[in-house]
Structure formats: C-alpha cells, structure tokens
Amino acid sequence: MPIKNRFAELQGEITEWRRDIHENPEILFDTHRTSALVAEKLKEFGCDEVVTGIGRTGVVGVIKGKADTGSKVIGLRADMDALPIHEATGLDYASKTDGAMHACGHDGHTAMLLGAAKYLSETRNFDGTVVVIFQPAEEGGGGGREMCEDGMMDRWGIQEIYGMHNWPGRPVGSFAIRPGAFFAATDQFDITFEGKGGHAAKPHETIDTTVMAAQAVLALQTVASRNADPVDQVVVSVTSFETSSTAFNVIPQTVQIKGTVRTMSTQMREMAEKRIKEICSGIAATFGGTSDVTYYLGYPVMVNSDEQTDFAADVARSVAGNCDEAPLIMGGEDFAFMLEERPGAYILVGNGDTAAVHHPEYNFNDEAIPAGCSWWAEIVEQRMPAA
C-alpha cells in the first residue's frame, strides 16, 4: 500500500502548520504556544479527548476507532521543542526568536503527527484506540520521562508505542530501523581536580592541577580502548577544560573538566562510570591532589522491541517499498523512557540531502510529510484492523 492519497491532499495544510511552528520555536518545557496550537488542532479534528499539562506542557489526544472489540490501545509520539541555536537558513519562515531554532525537525514531527491525527479522526477505520502524544523537552530536558511519571501510560491504557525521527542524508521519505539497542545512553561528568596553586616559576612548591587534568583527559580514553570489549560501543569525550586562573604565570588551585559518555548497554554504562571515578582518583593521588567526580545519568539506551520493530518495518515497506537496517546511533533520544514503560519501536524517515540536525542551516524537508503521516496512520490501521 503506497502513500495515502489523503496526505498528498493535506500536504499543503500540514506544511503550513509546520512552518508556523518553525517560525515560533520554543525550548524545553516552554512550549506553551506550540502546545496550545496542538491542542486547538486536536479539538478541531474532533478527537474524543484532549488533555494538556501532561509532563508539564505535553499534550495528549485520544481517537477511538469505529469498533473496540479487542480493547487495543496504541500510542504515537512526536516531540515539540526546539534548540538554543541561532538560525542561519535565511528562510521566509525562519525563526523569529533570537537564539532558538527548530534545528532537529521537531516542527516536522509535530506537524506530521497532527496530520495523522486529522486523518484518523476523519476515517476511524480501526478497531481500538489511538493516543497521540506531543512531548516537550526532548532536547535534554527529559520530557518523555516526565510524561511517563505523570502516569500517561496507565491513564490511557497504552499497550504499545511508536515514534519517528527525520534523518538527513537518507532519501526523502525512505525508512530505516533496527531492533534492540538503537540510540545511546547519554551521561555527563563534571570533574574537579584540587591541588596547591602557586607561582608558575616555582612548580616544586605547588601541586599542579593542570598536569593532573591533562593526564586525565588522555587516560579517560582508555575506558574505550582498554576497558571495553572492542565489539562494544562506548564514547568518552572531554568537552570542557577550565582552570581557576587564566594568568600565564600562575599554576591554578583547581581545574574542572566536563564531558559526556555514550554507551549502548547497562553493563558498559556502569563500567564507564566506575572507571572514570577510579582513573581520576588515581591520577590525583599520584600527583598529591584530589579529585571530585560528579556523574549525571542522562537518557537511558533506547531499545526497540523485536516484535514491534518487525511490524514497524513491514509498515514502512508497505508505505515506501523498502525499509533499510539503520546503524547504531551514539546520540540520545528520550523516547527511551517510553520504551522502558511499553514495547514499541522508533523509526527514521529520510530528510534528503540537507544540513545535519543541530546545524544552524538545517531545515525539515516538507516533501517527507506524506510518507511520515502515512506510516503513522498505517501503524494504527494495520495493527488494529477494522472488522
């Protein structure tokens, strides 16, 4: 079954919604305008229930099929928030908010799920209930976790859940997915080395924190090169190095380094945290100083369920004719929290030859709208076929 004709008809309207959201980006949980727009549209479509304020500013819409013989409930999720990036596209509908931009395509995700909701509300050609979920704060705020903690899954009896992300570099409207671990866990560390500051001409009278921290930057790479099995994925990146003095002739009292850890399994995640603390403690002791490591657990590994992944791939093939195997992705995705609560799957839809996500010249490709909307609608109609 190819792309639904109804979405070809709706593409212009959905594009208008998308570009309006793009022009008015909102960050993290401050998606008040976007959430209001989503709620207004869902009510306009005739959803059976529209609830705001889930996970602070999330929106949930409920659409009942023509029948409900099996009491099946499927969730479909899109993210709404933008990034703190200054847009450099020069588009007519570019961001009107300095320092905020839809640089990851969440405007497109939201618009496509709205398009699917409009179609499903019109046709209701399924046996069960669909719950459309519009989530804030995917970009580092953990909005998915907060919606789950608000009891979303139990409140609406969601049994399975599906999500989607656009992917630059893939042909427009094509799909890719993989079972099991897909997106990485995203943790952070903040390490302070304490020594004894002093004059740079008298290093023997100091305990040099710059030497400690410099050694640590290099030694932390051994977590990947010497502690992890070579077939396992782990990335340790130091991204900030800041001393307590910026003078050329002062050995600083403290040095702070920060960074991120990306892993694809619970075992690797626990090992990386343990080794980072051990390495820093050992280096500090070697040079006569101390270290203090604060380790922040971020998003967990996003794991696609096997059965739902196979189904999602079959749906993608019915829409686009093919579905590729996606690579492992070391970026994070807080849909992981929803997949920890319920079985489901997350898929990539091609955005074409565009700038990468999180780039100031990125723009969601509106030509992907019919494929994305069709996939979401077919998930519902094929998983809960009408009698």
Q: Tens of pLDDT along 345-365?
A: 999 999 999 999 999 999 999
* Radius of gyration (C-alpha) of the chain in whole angstroms: 24
Same domain, 266 and 308: no
Same domain, 177 and 211: no
Same domain, 322 and 231: no
Same domain, 23 and 150: yes
Same domain, 200 and 307: no
Q: Tens of pLDDT along 86-95?
A: 999 999 999 9
Q: Name the pLDDT band for 4 (thresholds 50, 70, 90).
A: confident
Same domain, 242 and 324: no
Same domain, 206 and 254: yes
Q: Tens of pLDDT along 238-251?
A: 999 999 999 999 99
Phi/psi of residue 176, nearest 5 degrees:
-150, 145
Q: Name the pLDDT band for 137 (thresholds 50, 70, 90).
A: very high
Same domain, 292 and 341: no
Distance CA 202, CA 340 (A): 55
User: Is the confidence at residue 328, as pLDDT, over 60?
Assistant: yes
Burial of 125 (0-12, 13-18, 19+ CB in 10 A): middle
Is 32 a known ligand-binding residue?
no
Domain span at residue 165 reads 5-181+302-383
Is 102 a known ligand-binding residue?
no
Contacts (Cβ under 8 Å, ≥6 apart) of 176: 167, 170, 323, 324, 325, 326, 347, 348, 350
Average pLDDT over residues 49-72: 97
Average pLDDT over residues 269-273: 97
Average pLDDT over residues 292-321: 98
How much is the pLDDT for 3? Answer: 75
Q: Tens of pLDDT along 151-210?
A: 999 999 999 999 999 999 999 999 999 999 999 999 999 999 999 999 999 999 999 999
Q: Tens of pLDDT along 12-45?
A: 999 999 999 999 999 999 999 999 999 999 999 9
Average pLDDT over residues 287-291: 98
DSSP output for 160-179: EEEEEEEETTSPTT-EEE-S
Instruction: Extract the tokens encoding 355.
Output: 């700038």
Element (H, E) at 8: helix 5-23
User: Is the confidence at residue 1, as pLDDT, over 70?
Assistant: no
Out of 247, 282, 299, pick the residue that ends a domain.
Answer: 299
Out of 239, 269, 299, pick the residue that ends a domain.
Answer: 299
Parallel/antiparallel/unpaired status of strands 73-79 and 129-135: parallel
Element (H, E) at 293: strand 290-299
How much is the pLDDT for 387? Answer: 80
Average pLDDT over residues 244-268: 97
Distance CA 328, CA 325 (A): 10
Same domain, 230 and 170: no
Is 104 a known ligand-binding residue?
yes
Contacts (Cβ under 8 Å, ≥6 apart) of 192: 254, 255, 256, 291, 292
Average pLDDT over residues 97-120: 98
How much is the pLDDT for 32? Answer: 98
Instruction: Extract the tokens encoding 39.
Output: 């709620």
Mean pLDDT of the chain: 97
How much is the pLDDT for 75? Answer: 98
CATH (domain of 236): 3.30.70.360
User: Is the confidence at residue 343, as pLDDT, over 80?
Assistant: yes
User: Is the confidence at residue 85, as pLDDT, over 90?
Assistant: yes
Same domain, 336 and 356: yes
CATH (domain of 152): 3.40.630.10
Out of 299, 315, 346, pick the residue that ends a domain.
Answer: 299
Query: pTM (2 decimals)?
Result: 0.96
The domain tally of the chain equals 2
Same domain, 357 and 372: yes
User: Is the confidence at residue 124, as pLDDT, over 70?
Assistant: yes
Same domain, 36 and 143: yes
User: Is the confidence at residue 2, as pLDDT, over 90?
Assistant: no
